Amino acid sequence: MAASRRRGRKALLVLVVVVIAVAGLFVIADRVAVIAAERTVADQAKKQLTAQGVSSPSNPSVKIGGFPFLTQVVGGRYNKITIDIAKPSTRDVTLDDLTVVATGVNASLGALINGSGDITADHVAGTARLDWSSVSQLIDLSQFGSGGATVAPLPNGEVQITAPVKVLTLSINVVATGSIQVVNDAAQVHINKVNVQGGNVPPILQQVLGSLEQQLSFNVKIPPLPYHLKIQNVQAKQAGVTITATAANVPLNSGGA
């Protein structure tokens, strides 16, 4: 009986070792497959961006979420694909970076392994960042006259525009503060306060400045974002502007464009 128990324990040990070995091989195969798929999606993303007039100094970085990957392959549906794009440029505007998170992704095995087929996402969310030097070039300050205008962030999330203007017969430096809002898929700076630099407003200018406060708003000429992303929110921060955008039913490769 003792020998029988030893044989039983040995058989169980062998079974455990086999199960662990098979599990290990599955994990290795799963990770190898996901790395190959990420490279293919990155190549397809590069082609898609080029087709939409977006350039970048490096290839997009792709991360396919969810484990195991191979079970997602069987169903042809993937939980999440994240695409990071460094310094994307379009229409002479360069963003600091753009992160695209696609969820509910549908793709065949061929589409993910060799790019032969469509890759589509039910929903895409994009986050882009733009530094203030670039933002200043995108804000239409023509209403303040020509030249000399500067844009800077305020700690409360508003922006401050300082510009030399001529009001009546006086040349003054106007300081306007406002917030960035999204109107019809476009970003605008809405002015809520106009003052004179130094804070001393001559009586003759008070009515004029009040009128300017009601009239002034400035477009932020953000170029169209890839993947048909529509701007939902723009936040002014000390480091720059953060843009969030979304889209639905989006092709992630040029074959599905």
Q: Secondary structure of the chain in the HEC alphabet?
A: CHHHHHHHHHHHHHHHHHHHHHHHHHHHHHHHHHHHHHHHHHHHHHHHHHHCCCECCCCCEEEECCCCHHHHHHHCEEEEEEEEEECCEECCEECCEEEEEEEEEEECHHHHHCCCCCEEEEEEEEEEEECHHHHHHHECCHHHCCCCCEEEECCCCCEEEEEEEEECCEEEEEEEEEEEEEECCEEEEEEEEEEECCCCCCHHHHHHHHHHHHHCEEEECCCCCCCCCEEEEEEEECCEEEEEEEEEEEECCHHHC
Domain range list for the chain: 13-132+238-256, 140-220
Predicted model pTM:
0.78
Indicate whether 7 pLDDT > 60.
Answer: no
pLDDT of residue 210: 61
Q: Mean pLDDT over residues 14-41, rounded?
A: 69
pLDDT of residue 83: 94
Indicate whether 9 pLDDT > 70.
Answer: no
pLDDT of residue 244: 94
Q: Mean pLDDT over residues 31-36, rounded?
A: 79
Mean pLDDT of all residues belonging to the chain: 79
Could you read off the pLDDT of 56-71 as tens digits, one per residue?
898 999 999 887 888 8
pLDDT of residue 256: 44
Could you read off the pLDDT of 74-104 as tens digits, one per residue?
888 888 999 999 999 888 888 899 999 999 9
